[in-house]
Structures are given as C-alpha cells and as structure tokens.
Amino acid sequence: MTKPLSTAPQFRRLALVAVTSCVGVTPPRTAFGSPTLPLQGRVATGRPLMTTAPQFRRLALIGVGLIGSSIARAARAQKLAGSIVATARSAKTRRRVMELGLADQVVDTNAAAVEGADLVIVCIPVGQCGAAAREIGPHLAPGAIVSDVGSVKAQVAHDMAPHLPANVHFVPAHPVAGTEYSGPDAGFAELFVGRWCILTPAQHADAVAVQRLSEFWSGLGAKVAIMSAAHHDLVLAITSHVPHLIAYTIVGTADDLSAVTRSEVLQYSAGGFRDFTRIAASDPTMWRDVFLANKTGVLEMLGRFNRDLAKLADAIEAADGDTLFELFTRTRTIRRGIVAIGQDSEAPDFGRPRPSLALAPLPRPYALENE
Ligand code: NAP
C-alpha cells in the first residue's frame, strides 16, 4: 500500500506539483473559478498500475450495468481485487452476470453482497443510492471503503451518508466515462482508460481511504481528480447534464414536427441531428434521476444557456453575422482543445468508418484530410 498522506492541505499541494511535472501543463482550472485537484502524479497519469498484489481483498459491486460490469472486467484484468462479488436488482441481470463470468460470486441481495467486502461500489441509478445504502449499512465490514459511481454527487452523498456506520469510509466517485448503452453486456474493460474519475470526499474524509480508492481508479486506467460535490455538480451540469437535456429536447422536437416527416428526419439525420440522437438514446432511468438529483446545477446552467440561445436568435433576426462568426470560431477552438488533450478522436466525422466508392477517388491535392 502507498504511504498514507497525513493532512489534507499537504495532500492537495503535492497533487498540483505532481500533475504539473507529469503532463507539462498548469493544473486545470475550471470555468467556475476553483481548480480541480488531481492526486499524485502517478494517479493523475491514468496509466494502469501493474500491481503485484490485489489492492482489495473483496470487491462488492451493487449493480452490474454498463459501469458496474466495466469495473468488474477491468478490476479482474488488472488483478485489483482478490475476489469480486456482485448483485443486481433483477434475477435476469444476476443470471447474466453469472453467464458472463463477471464476478466470482453473484448474490441475491445488496446486504449479502457487502458482507466481508473491503471495497463496496454502488453502481446503480442515483435515485436508488439512498435506499441501497440503508440496506447495506448494517452489513458493512468495519474499515470498508464505500463508494459509488453516480453522475450527481451532492444529492447522492446526502442520501447515502446517513445510512453508513461511522466505522466505514465513504468516498463518493464519478467516472466521467460512458456510452449510450446499458446493462452487463454493454460494459468493457477499457471504458475508463484515459478518462477522468472525480472523487468528491467530504472535508473530514480519511486521506488513506481516498488515496486507496484513487489508486484503484488509476488501476482501471482512469485519471483521478478531487473536487467538492457541489463543484462537481456545477461542472457536470454544463459538460454533461445540459447537453443531454438539449439532445433529449431536440430529438423530441423533431419527432413532434408535423411539417417534416419522421422518415425525413431519419433519412437526413447526418446533418448534426444524428449525433444528438446518440446522446438522446441514453438510459431514461439514469437520466431522469440525474436531472432530479442535480436540479440546482442544471437549472443554473440551463438559465445561462437559454440567455445565450436568445442572444443568438436575436443575432440571426438582426442578420448580425459577426456575432455568429465570433461564437462559432470560439467553439471550434474548444473542439480542437478537446481533441488536443486526447478526450476525442481527431478523425473526421468523430472517427466513423467511411464507406468506399466503387472506384478509387481522385487524389485531393487541395486540402488536408481533416480540413
Ligand atoms: P445500467 O447499465 O442501467 O445498470 C444499472 C444496474 O443497477 C443494473 O444492474 C440494475 O439491475 C442495477 N440496479 C438498479 N437498481 C438497483 C438496486 N436498487 N439494487 C441493486 N441493483 C440495482 O446503469 P449504468 O449506466 O451502469 O449507470 C449506473 C450508475 O453509473 C448511475 O448512477 C449513473 O449515473 C452512473 N454513470 C453512468 C454513466 C453512463 O454513461 N451510463 C457514466 C458515468 C456514471 P437490473 O438490471 O436488474 O435492473
């Protein structure tokens, strides 16, 4: 096990120095003022740890959908847990988890899953987390680390913490990685590689538990950052929650149109709409819970979005091309920044494979491939 870090302030300062030397950039500063706090350099690189001994004796996964099953696959591949015990709400999913061989043991209840586990990760929709914590609370082993993967942090911590005994360490987490698919078949071991996992421990959280969990996520291939739950919810409101809401809206609006037929919407979807439909295919239960749980962050960001959208409508109305051009230039820079830091592919059309013509195309001396 790595050396425990004695106090919180020391822990934070170490992190910033390490990440600066590690990736050669200044620590990330969010648009909302307070910086994210990546952990030590080794953790922040996101390179999978090659461990010799499992970090945890027994890993319990409550919920084995996209995220839980990806954790199971990666933890097993990286030998991060001596054994894995899993459970899910329905017998059908539990049976599938067994068929896929995702866990050493599959049990019927959340309470049974956590018996003797030194790491428990709750991987279920955020609206269910409080009830799950109430079920597992009395059965947790002393000293266990309890975490989750919920896309909203303040509400989940508020719902779970009261049910957890004082002798366990609660360290909420959110891997910022996913797809529009759900269920145990949808997961894959590489899901977290190079993605951020944000930990939102309370101020008084045990530094060793935080460090152990961050090493676990690093072992899954993730880069780890620490921030407050409230700040996480504001950041994710604009980077994830509001974009999902917009996608759900625009796809719904298109479906409701009477002047444009549904078959036209489908047929001509490549003009931008197609990418919204991918996001709007995300799990309805999960996203309903996200919006209900992050009401404050989402409404704040949605307010800003609505004001900016109204300004754009005004610019179009006033034939103010400069305003449109200035914004579109700025947003193109953001897209290029996302590609530059490896958060997306620079391949055209988001890396989609291209169909080929029957005959070889003419060479293109007039433009680069990605222009
Ligand atoms: P998912 O694929 O729908 O899987 C959810 C799992 O939770 C299923 O195994 C389900 O079992 C189980 N479950 C639901 N309620 C339960 C309960 N009360 N007790 C025990 N098991 C229960 O969902 P997911 O995409 O993995 O999302 C899980 C969590 O990860 C959510 O909190 C979400 O916010 C977060 N997250 C998701 C993404 C993403 O892109 N999907 C990314 C980051 C974080 P049944 O199949 O039997 O119902």
DSSP letter string, 156-186: HHHHHGGGS-TTSEE--EEE----S--STTT
Query: pLDDT higher for 6 or 260?
Result: 260
For residue 194, how far is its CA from the centre of ligand 1 (angstroms)? Answer: 22
CB 212 within 8 A of CB 1: yes
Is the model's pLDDT at 370 over the cut of 90? no
Which atom of ligand 1 approaches the CA of 290 most closely? 34
The residue whose CA is least distant from atom 18 of ligand 1 is: 128
Cα distances (Å, whole numbers) of residue 214 to 68, 160, 178, 224, 231: 17, 20, 19, 6, 19
- Which residue has the least CA distance to atom 1 on ligand 1? 65
Which pLDDT score, from 0 to 100, does residue 257 have? Answer: 86
Q: What is d(CA 273, CA 247) in angstroms, rounded to the nearest whole number?
A: 9
Q: Please choose from 69, 70, 89, 95 the residue to mutate so as to test ligand 1's pocket, defined by most ligand atoms within 8 A of CB.
A: 89
* CATH T-level fold of 232-342: 6-phosphogluconate dehydrogenase C-terminal fold (1.10.3660)
Cα separation of 80 and 48, whole Å?
10
- Rounded CA gap, 268 and 15, in Å? 48
Torsion, CA 338, CA 342, CA 345, CA 347, rounded to 10: 90
Q: Match 């586990």 to its residue by tokens.
A: 117
Min mean pLDDT across 37-51, 141-155, 281-295 is at: 37-51
Q: Tell me the CA–centroid distance for residue 344 and ligand 1, in Å.
A: 24
Between strands 223-226 and 37-38, the pairing is: antiparallel
Distance of CA 323 to the CA centre of its chain: 33
Distance from the CA of 254 to the center of ligand 1, in angstroms?
29
Q: Tokens 């996203």 — which residue?
A: 287
The domains of the chain are located at: 14-227, 232-342
Q: Beta-carbon neighbour count of residue 65 at 10 Å?
A: 26
* Amino acid residing at 12: R
CA of 244 to the centre of ligand 1 (A): 17
Rounded Cα–Cα distance for residues 56 and 118 (Å): 6
Q: How confident is the model at residue 53 (pLDDT cuts 50, 70, 90)?
A: confident
Q: What average pLDDT is seen over the chain?
A: 85
Mean local confidence (pLDDT), 206-233: 97
354 pLDDT more than 50: yes
* Percentage of the chain exceeding pLDDT 70: 84
H helices within 161-280, ranges in order?
Answer: 207-219, 229-236, 242-256, 262-267, 273-280
Overall average pLDDT of the 277-288 stretch: 95
Give me the phi and psi of 103, to 5 degrees please: -140, 160
Model confidence at 28: pLDDT above 70: no
pLDDT on residue 357:
82
* Residue range 141-165, pLDDT digits in tens: 999 999 999 999 999 999 999 999 9
User: Structure tokens of 204?
Assistant: 């008084």
Contact 225, 198 (CB under 8 A): yes
Q: Which atom of ligand 1 is nearest to the CA of 92?
A: 47
Residue 180 CB: number of other CB atoms within 10 A?
Answer: 14
Which pLDDT score, from 0 to 100, does residue 24 have?
A: 26
82 to 50, 117, 208, 212: CA distances (angstroms) = 15, 10, 20, 15
Q: Ligand 1, from 124, 198, 239, 290: best to mutate by most atoms within 8 Å of Cβ?
A: 124
Q: Does residue 271 surpass a pLDDT of 90?
A: no
Residues with a CB atom less than 6 Å from ligand 1: 62-68, 87-90, 93, 110, 123-126, 128, 132, 149-151, 174-175, 178, 182-183, 283, 286, 290
Residue from 67, 98, 155, 181 to probe ligand 1 pocket by mutation (most atoms less than 8 Å from CB):
67
Beta bridge partners of 87: 62
SS3 call for 15: helix
Pocket test for ligand 1, best of 123, 180, 217, 285 (most atoms within 8 A of CB): 123
- Identify the pLDDT of residue 10: 29
Q: What is the Å distance from ligand 1's center to 123 Cα? A: 5
Q: Using alpha carbons only, give the angle 306, 307, 308 rounded to the nearest 5 degrees.
A: 90
- Is the CB of residue 293 less than 8 Å from the CB of residue 156? yes
How many residues would you count in the chain?
371
pLDDT at residue 222 above 60?
A: yes
Q: Which CATH class is domain 14-227?
A: alpha beta
Specify the residue with its C-alpha closest to ligand 1, atom 4. Answer: 65
For residue 36, the model assigns a pLDDT of 42
- If pLDDT is split at 50, 70 and 90, which confidence band does 200 have? very high
Ligand 1 atom closest to residue 94's alpha carbon, by position in its atom list: 47
Kindly report which listed range (14-18, 161-165, 229-233, 250-254) carries the lowest average pLDDT score: 14-18
Q: For the residues 35-46, what does the mean pLDDT come to?
A: 40
